[in-house]
């Protein structure tokens, strides 16, 4: 019973890490705000812009979103690849034809305009007005 609780807590922590990444970035920004403004801000030499490190925060959030999107794309691509591989791995088609079998293709050309009603043969025009 004791091990099950530890495993459950570990799994909960792993799931929570992914959902708490954005708040952790905000918390990191707030805790190190003075250092970011003085050393990491792109606009630190232009105080009239009043950026106060928001450019750094925006870059970090953008990078985090891109990383998540890249990971999701890779995960979906690998899942799709695995599904296709499994599908074609299970799909074995054996064509055992006798030696003297002849395959004949018959091509028929039939006009299809007789299948359409008369109003379908008139070109469609947009309404005027």
Residue-wise pLDDT tens digits, 113-127: 555 555 556 677 778
The domain locations on the chain are 2-90
Q: What is the Rg, in whole angstroms, of the alpha carbon atoms belonging to the chain?
A: 32
Residue 18: per-residue pLDDT: 76
Residue 23: is its pLDDT beyond 80?
A: yes
| Alpha carbon distance 87, 104 (integer Å) | 30
Residues 55-83: tens digit of each pLDDT = 899 999 999 889 888 888 888 888 888 88
| Alpha carbon distance 81, 41 (integer Å) | 42
| Alpha carbon distance 57, 46 (integer Å) | 17
pTM of the full structure: 0.51
| Alpha carbon distance 119, 123 (integer Å) | 9
Residue 95: per-residue pLDDT: 62
Exposure class string for 36-46: b at 16+ Cβ within 10 A, else e: bbeeebebbee
Average per-residue pLDDT for the chain: 79
């Amino acid at each position: 019973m004791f091990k099950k609780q530890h495993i459950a807590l570990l799994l909960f922590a792993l799931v929570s890490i992914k959902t708490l990444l954005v708040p952790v970035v905000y918390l990191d920004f707030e805790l190190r705000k003075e250092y970011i403004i003085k050393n990491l801000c792109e606009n630190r030499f232009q105080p009239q812009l009043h950026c106060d490190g928001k450019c750094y925060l925006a870059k970090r959030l953008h990078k985090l979103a891109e990383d998540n999107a890249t990971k999701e794309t890779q995960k979906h691509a690998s899942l799709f690849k695995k599904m296709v591989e499994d599908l074609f791995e299970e799909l074995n088609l054996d064509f055992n034809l006798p030696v003297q079998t002849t395959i004949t293709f018959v091509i028929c050309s039939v006009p299809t305009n007789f299948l359409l009603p008369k109003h379908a043969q008139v070109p469609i025009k947009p309404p005027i007005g």
